[in-house]
Amino acid sequence: MLPRRVLPLLALPAVAGAQPAGYAWAVMRQGSRIGTHRVSFSQRGEELVAESDLSIVPRVMGVVVYRFEHRMTEVTRRGRFVSAQSRHNRNGRIVEAVAEARPDHVLMRHTGGELRMPANAAPLSWWEPARFGAMQLFGMTEPKLLELRVAREAQAGGVRVTTTGDVQATLDYDRAGRWVGYSVVGDDGSTVTYAPA
């Protein structure tokens, strides 16, 4: 297990002007590329804006057999969650959600209604390693507070984070907090991995 004092080393730069580089992943399943996930960042004064675009469209004989698309814009200020807006398409089922930090809670409005969450809640954003175990995480694709158990293991040159519960995933980060590896168990029980695109 990794001591909590190491957590600050695993956060993306939150200082104004310290804009992190983006990510470009190929989504892989059983050796085949089934989609892409790109994350880009821009600075807006003291706010850092993350744009995430995930598209998974596996094909059989050239025919799309499944569609999973999730686009999210998240805003943080000096490392603290401010707001997020997302649109999720799973085989034609659309879920739209907007979450905003309030003084004493986080409020999410989504296709199915509203959800009031603790003030320290934040989205499950894989590129934000310091959030794991430090705050209550919530989903935007299925709007709810997540039940997650988090374990950390020191690795050569970084740390591995494993989550179980609502999401079974393994994530690798380098010493600077850069997201360098990912695998997750999908809805059908198969393992999906990320490779640099």
What gap in Å lies between CA 4 and CA 9, rounded to an integer? 10
Lowest average pLDDT, out of 73-77, 90-94, 103-107, goes to: 90-94
Which pLDDT band, with edges at 50, 70 and 90, does 18 fall under? low
pLDDT greater at residue 6 or residue 92: 92
Question: What pLDDT score does 60 carry?
Answer: 80
Q: Is it the case that residue 11 has pLDDT exceeding 60? A: no
Contact criterion met (CB below 8 Å) for 29 and 190: yes
For the segment 40-86, what is each residue's pLDDT rounded down to a tens digit? Answer: 999 999 999 999 999 999 888 777 788 999 999 999 999 999 999 99
Which pLDDT band, with edges at 50, 70 and 90, does 137 fall under? very high
The helix/strand count (H/E) of the chain reads as 0, 18
Question: What pLDDT score does 110 carry?
Answer: 95
Mean pLDDT across the chain, nearest whole number?
Answer: 89
Domain ranges of the chain: 4-196
What gap in Å lies between CA 153 and CA 126, rounded to an integer? 17
For the segment 110-128, what is each residue's pLDDT rounded down to a tens digit? Answer: 998 999 999 999 999 999 9
Q: Would you list the DSSP string of 177-193?
A: --EEEEEEE-TTS-EEE
Which pLDDT band, with edges at 50, 70 and 90, does 6 fall under? very low
- What is the pTM assigned to this prediction? 0.86
Backbone angles phi, psi at 166, to 5 degrees: -65, -30
Class of domain 4-196: mainly beta
Contacts of 79 (CB under 8 A, 6+ apart): 11, 12, 14, 130
- Written as six digits, the tokens of 99 are 């979450």
Q: Which residue has 């297990």 as its token pair? A: 1
Percent of the chain with pLDDT over 70: 91
How would you list the strands of the sheet with 122-123, edge to edge? 122-123, 137-139, 144-145
